[in-house]
């Protein structure tokens, strides 16, 4: 696919639009809810136990410590100032072996998330990392969903408002085309060509056998090529009960998205064979909107619906004594978050 066709694909498929283009038209809606709450940064009260309500600059390790251990991967917190040798010794002592996952403690959109296969790769990661990071055991399950959970204060049980299935970026061999040619055939993978060149190098000239599937990026991140499919129609009582059982054990958690690796959907609903790999608070998007079948207008309607729930929860918690962020502190948080994102992008992208 040539560059002009690729550019046209990005323009005509809103899922590839930059964040500001998707959300700036929604600014009047946010102002409306801010007026209702009498605060521009009302979201802070939605999840009182999370820093900034989980909107930004929250430590993933702090959030993992809120989740019952049986539901999360083994995780080790690594301060940036520690030497690679000391860090590796700490990781191996925790019974996490190669390969494992490393990711920034304050990350975003899977930037800086890497699968580490050996000591040399880990030393490189430690030297590249601009901040504190986490090491996690590799979870064997190959399927991932994002489940959005909402529980209004006073409710006995929360609800699931949307589910997105995440299809990892992959290609299928035809016995003739090189890996590079296969990547260029699909705009979703072609748009990831720069990081894929860095990852695969000379392997791009290999020819995959007919029918051979190769996962290019094993992470369920839209920014790294994953396809998001809305499967909200699969919400059911058993799944809601399973997710609520997790969230109910988290202090003052009312609003956010759980990213889950699982074996089969039936087992997940039954509460078996799954791990929560991340929980995003008020900054978590209802990512089922990114299903290519949805129009931008449908997405805006869904965003407004979730902001309405966020606003209602925040107001109720505020009446119970939980504070909003001041405008000064909110601006400082956004500025600090922007600087953190820039550091991560420069180091890992």
pLDDT tens, residue by residue, 280-301 = 999 999 999 999 999 999 999 9
Which one is predicted more confidently, 82 or 289?
A: 289
| Model confidence at 349: pLDDT above 60 | no
Q: What b/e string do you get for 315-338 counting C-beta neighbours within 10 Å, with b at 16 or more?
A: bbbbeeebebbeeeebeebeeebe
At residue 123, the pLDDT reads 87
pTM: 0.93
pLDDT of residue 178: 95
Q: Which residues pair with 134 in a beta bridge?
A: 77, 103
Short-list 144, 168, 264, 164, CA closest to 218: 168
User: Which residue pairs, CB below 8 angstroms and at least 24 apart, start in 82-90?
Assistant: 83/126, 84/122, 84/123, 84/126, 84/127, 87/122, 87/126, 88/119, 88/122, 88/123
Strand order in the sheet with 75-78: 75-78, 133-137, 100-104, 114-116
pLDDT digits (tens, 9 = 90+) for 139-186: 999 999 999 999 999 999 999 999 999 999 999 999 999 999 999 999
pLDDT at 1: 67
| Confidence tier at 83 by pLDDT (50, 70, 90) | confident
Q: Answer with the residue of higher pLDDT: 20 or 220.
A: 20
What the chain holds in terms of domains, given with CATH numbers, is: 11-73+141-167+227-348 (no CATH), 74-138 (3.30.1490.20), 169-217 (no CATH)
Q: Residue 16: phi, psi to the nearest 5? A: -95, 0
């Amino acid at each position: 696919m040539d560059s002009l066709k690729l550019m046209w694909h990005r323009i005509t498929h809103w899922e590839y639009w930059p964040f500001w283009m998707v959300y700036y038209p929604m600014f009047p809606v946010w102002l409306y809810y801010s007026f209702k709450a009498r605060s521009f940064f009302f979201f802070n009260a939605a999840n009182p136990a999370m820093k900034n309500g989980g909107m930004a600059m929250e430590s993933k390790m702090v959030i993992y410590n809120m989740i019952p251990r049986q539901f999360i991967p083994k995780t080790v917190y690594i301060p940036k100032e520690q030497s690679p040798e000391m860090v590796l010794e700490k990781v191996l002592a925790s019974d996490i072996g190669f390969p494992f996952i490393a990711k920034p403690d304050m990350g975003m959109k899977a930037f800086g998330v890497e699968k580490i296969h050996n000591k040399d790769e880990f030393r490189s990661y430690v030297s590249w990392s601009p901040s504190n990071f986490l090491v996690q055991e590799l979870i064997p399950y190959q399927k991932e969903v994002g489940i959005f959970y909402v529980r209004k204060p006073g409710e006995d049980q929360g609800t699931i408002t949307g589910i997105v299935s995440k299809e990892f970026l992959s290609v299928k061999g035809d016995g003739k085309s090189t890996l590079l040619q296969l990547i260029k055939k699909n705009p979703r993978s072609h748009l990831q060509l720069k990081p894929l060149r860095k990852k695969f190098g000379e392997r791009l000239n290999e020819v995959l056998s007919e029918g051979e599937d190769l996962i290019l990026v094993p992470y369920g991140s839209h920014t790294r090529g994953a396809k998001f499919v809305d499967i909200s129609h699969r919400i059911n009582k058993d799944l809601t009960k399973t997710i609520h059982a997790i969230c109910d054990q988290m202090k003052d958690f009312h609003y956010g998205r759980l990213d889950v690796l699982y074996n089969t959907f039936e087992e997940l609903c039954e509460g078996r064979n799954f791990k929560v790999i991340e929980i995003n608070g008020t900054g978590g998007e209802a990512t089922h909107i990114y299903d290519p079948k949805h129009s931008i207008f449908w997405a805006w309607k869904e965003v407004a619906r979730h902001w309405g729930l966020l606003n209602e929860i925040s107001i109720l918690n505020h009446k119970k004594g939980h504070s909003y962020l001041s405008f000064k502190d909110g601006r400082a948080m956004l500025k600090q978050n922007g600087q953190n994102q820039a550091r991560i992008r420069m180091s890992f992208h």
